[in-house]
Amino acid sequence: MTVSSSASVPAPPDRLVLADLPSRADRLFRRVTSGAGLSVLALLIVIGFFLVYRSVPAFEASGFGFFTTIQFDPASGHFGVLGLLYGTVVVALIAVAVAVPFSVLAALFISDYASPRVRGFLTGLVDLLAAIPSLLYGLWGFSFLRPYITPLSQWLTGNLGWFPLFETKPGAVLFNSMFVAGLVVSLMVIPITTSVIREVFTQTPPGEKEAALALGSTRWGMVRTVVLPFGRGGIVGGSMLGLGRALGETIAVSLLLPQVPELTTHLLEFGGATISGFVANNAGQSGPALSGLMAAGLVLFAFTLATNFTASVIISRSRSGAGVDA
């Protein structure tokens, strides 16, 4: 029995083409989110133009010396932001240097070591601490924590005084220093930094972690080779977010620092000022003095934007997960 060669072979079914057509809800959500993003951008531009406009008289009076002068005396019309910017950066760096190691360790414990019940409690506690107003931190640091930090300053200068940052003058007063302010600000930075880093650590692919443990790795070995490389971008992002908060902190530094602009390496001694704290303490000025304060605020505004932009570049080049497969 022969099979006719003319027998027709059934044609394959037509391939179904899926078209990505967003629904009305999707289109509405996209418009709302786009509008919110553009509104934030427009608000930043408006704030920037306002600060520039109000700062023009101060820049005209001081010229480029505004950026190289340490003294800032609104009453006499001498405007210089160098001392204020130095104190702002020093306090923020102290806060971040203290906060980041504690934040990374706390995030690792919550994500990889704590039991589910403890993990839920600590997650809520950290988020709650991040929502506490900075005024409460500042008052607590000023009234309670400051007397306990002073003995620490005495120990540092007595045992590590050979290091320039811990060196003090004979008979120097060791409270209301940039070191004290930095430690108090670090308490505000730790919760928000921990929250961001923990969120990234919890997104580590479970398969990668289980594979590391199945190959005989210890818990710490798994964390070191899988979790930390995956969360590298989150660590950078959380650290820069904490740095941004430390740079703009106002209430705590206005209470803990005498707001005297200066350039000094004696971080344990009485003295120091930040831009935000100085502006807060002199907010009642008018005329040229107000223009000088606006110019100082413009410098802080630009510095914070530059910091956040740098953080975004670093994060984009160090995505969480890069290096896990290496």
Three-state secondary-structure class, residue 169: coil
> What whole-number percentage of the chain has pLDDT above 90?
15
Residues forming a β-bridge with 73: 78
Instruction: Give the closest residue to 257 by CA, choosing from 249, 212, 11, 28.
Output: 249
pLDDT band at 12 (very low <50, low <70, confident <90, very high): low
In the chain, what is the straight-line distance between the N-terminal and C-terminal CA atoms, in Å? 62
Higher-pLDDT residue of 44 and 24 is 44
* Mean pLDDT, residues 156-164 taken together: 85
Question: What is d(CA 204, CA 195) in angstroms, rounded to the nearest whole number?
Answer: 15
Q: Running DSSP on this structure, what letter comes out for residue 65?
A: G
Q: Enter the DSSP assignment of 110.
A: I
Q: How many CB atoms lie within 10 A of CB 159?
A: 10
Domain 84-280+301-317: which topology? MetI-like fold (1.10.3720)
For residue 324, pLDDT over 60 is answered with no
Report the C-alpha gap between 38 and 56 in whole angstroms: 27
pLDDT, average across residues 89-102: 93
Residue 136 has pLDDT above 90, yes or no: no
The continuous run of DSSP H or E covering 242 comes out as: helix 232-248
3-state secondary structure 262-306: CCCCCCCCECECCHHHHHHHCCCCCCHHHHHHHHHHHHHHHHHHH
Cβ-based neighbour number of residue 97 at 10 Å: 12
**Contact status, residue 272 vs residue 258, Cβ threshold 8 Å:** yes
Decide: 181 and 259 in contact? Cβ < 8 Å.
Answer: no
- State the average pLDDT over residues 253-258: 87
What's this model's pTM, rounded to 2 decimal places?
0.83
Question: What does the DSSP 8-state code read for residue 64?
Answer: G
Q: Find, among 262, 256, 313, the residue nearest to 280 by Cα.
A: 256
Q: Which whole number is the average pLDDT over 116-139?
A: 86
pLDDT recorded at residue 20: 67
Q: Per-residue pLDDT tens for 222-236?
A: 888 888 888 888 888
In this prediction, residue 325 carries a pLDDT of 44
Structure-model confidence comparison of residues 74 and 47, the more confident one: 47
Buried-exposed string 58-92: b where 16+ CB fall within 10 A, e elsewhere: bbebbeeebeebeebebeeeebbbbbbbbbbbbbb
Higher-pLDDT residue of 171 and 306 is 306
Whether 96 has a pLDDT exceeding 60, the answer reads yes
The answer, yes or no, to whether residue 261 has pLDDT greater than 90, is no
CA distance 52 to 24: 42
